[in-house]
Amino acid sequence: MAKKKGSGVIVVKVALWYITILSIFAAYTNWLPQIRGDAPEAAEAIDVSAITPEGLQEMGGMIIFGTDDPLGTLARGEGPIGKGQCPLCHRFFMEQKADRCPNLIALKTEPQLLLQVSEEERSHERVKEPRYEEFKKLHADGEKNSGHVPHAETGGQYLIESEYCPNCFVVEGFGLKGTNDTESPMPIINKPPILLVDTEIVAVVSFLQMRDDPTKWTAKDDWEAYFGKDLASEGGDEAPAEVKPAGPPVALGSETPEEIVTKMTCYACHKIPGISVAKTGAIGPLLIEGTNAPNRIKSPEYKAAMKAGTAHATTAREYIIESIMDPGAFIVPGFADDMMKDFKHKFTVSGLDVLVDHLIAQDEAAALADGLDRLANEKEGPIKKPEAKVETGEAFAKNQSKTNEMTIQVSNKKLIENSTFIGLN
């Protein structure tokens, strides 16, 4: 909140603003789709009151896309994926492929228009939906992963809440399979590995609101109303994690599997036993390649891909390498060709070895030990027997042989009704 003090203070504030903004922009401009799993280094507080809405909007765009020219990056067939990782799942442009999640499009007047309603407009509708009241009741004692109780009163507060507590309202048809749309696949944005700080989240929401119409900016007031305090109070917000102005992220042999998975964002789409950040990914298969890879290469679908000349692996190790370096070679049944195609430029040979060694060592037992299970759309079906609390569980247990038919259904609704996958328990 702007405080009226002497003009000397204002000069200092303006100077500080300049330095802060310049250093933030320097950091984000150099930002390439790289994230850091470790805690941000303590840095000086940002005086949010001194950042203009336009400054926040620009910062939000950098956090989302990692570039100020996302369309240029798309035209080169790359990312554009910044530190916030949002475009991994959300579609912002017509040219962008990812469409697994609600479109976050807010350019009603532009040719890129995907929806007749912008994210800003839709946010106001969400809080009025009867389902929002249901989520309030469901999480009256605090949602288990974030601790928040859904209580957004305005569209802007809803957007803020979506970042801190994706489970506080799950858009119908987009929840984790088998959770009846009560659990979101979206990561909590202010927690590792994405770990945006409060100011960065306000910047992202500013971007979403102002992309629609600059006069719709309310993000900072929304944050303050939602949390009942000043954005810069209590010793100030932490500054964004310092971003190393390095070259493109490359997985190195000196890194651990956990570091490589974090750096390469595999966790956003895959669950992987033994990797602490990779517990919720629900876009690609559970990566238990000690079990999966040998079965894949024996499968009729893989043989067909070999015949067609796209797939070439004859050993489990080759299969895993092929899946990462050339994901389009073979599409795992039940999934879409959704994995990005540029990992071949992002691994050193030894870095790839480290990751493949880890993946090939994972099997069904490792997944169960880590509390992970297959997704409902995996042809093999879940590993563990469903727990009683899943309504369709008993029928499933009685008739295992039907599982495959049931779980490869494509329609979301069908999947949800029939699913036997136990979400994140």
- Contacts to ligand HEC by CB under 6 A: 84-86, 88-90, 101-102, 104, 122, 126, 159, 162-163, 166, 169-171, 174, 184-187, 189, 204, 264-266, 268-270, 283-285, 287, 289, 292, 296, 320, 323-324, 327, 330-332, 335-340, 343, 355
Q: 140, 127, 97, 102: which is closest to 327 by C-alpha?
A: 97
Rounded CA separation 205/223 (Å): 10
Residue closer to ligand HEC (CB basis): 17 or 164: 164
Instruction: Give whichever of 32 and 50 is closer to ligand HEC, judged by the CB atom.
Output: 32
Minimum CB separation of residue 70 from ligand HEC in Å reads 13
Comparison of 209 and 418: residue with beta carbon closer to ligand HEC: 209
DSSP string, 340-404: -S-GGGSB-HHHHHHHHHHHHT--HHHHHHTT----TTSTT--SSPPPTTSTTHHHHHHTGGGHH
- What are the tokens at 353? 């070895």
Between CA 12 and CA 201 the distance in angstroms is 25
Which segments of 234-326 does DSSP mark as H helices, in order? 257-264, 289-298, 300-307, 316-325
Check: CB of residue 305 under 8 Å from CB of residue 322: no
CB of 340 to ligand HEC, least distance (A): 6
Rounded distance, CA 28 to CA 11, Å? 26
Three-state SS letters, 12-53: HHHHHHHHHHHHHHHHHHCCCCCCCCCCCCCCCCCCHHHCCH
Q: Quote the CA–CA distance of 91 and 74 in Å, as a whole number.
A: 12
Smallest distance from the beta carbon of 229 to ligand HEC, in angstroms?
A: 22
Residue with tokens 């993946």, as numbered in its chain: 359
Alpha-carbon gap, residue 17 to 130, rounded angstroms = 43
C-beta closer to ligand HEC: residue 50 or 278: 278
- Closest CB 14 distance from ligand HEC, rounded Å: 29
CB of 196 to ligand HEC, least distance (A): 6
Q: Select 340 or 424, whichever has its Cβ closest to ligand HEC.
A: 340
Q: Which is closer to ligand HEC, CB of 226 or CB of 330?
A: 330
Q: Cα–Cα distance between 325 and 335 in angstroms, integer? A: 17
Structure tokens at 237: 């917000």
CB of 365 to ligand HEC, least distance (A): 16
Shortest CB 390 distance to ligand HEC, Å: 20
- Say which amino acid occupies 224: E
Give the CA distances from residue 141 to residues 138, 147, 182, 389, in Å, rounded to whole numbers and listed in that order.
Answer: 8, 8, 15, 21
Nearer to ligand HEC, 74 or 104 (CB): 104
**In terms of CB distance, is 79 or 187 closer to ligand HEC?**
187
- State which residue, 17 or 343, has the beta carbon closest to ligand HEC: 343
Taking the complex as a whole, how short is the minimal distance between the CB of residue 29 and ligand HEC, in angstroms? 18
CB of 331 to ligand HEC, least distance (A): 4
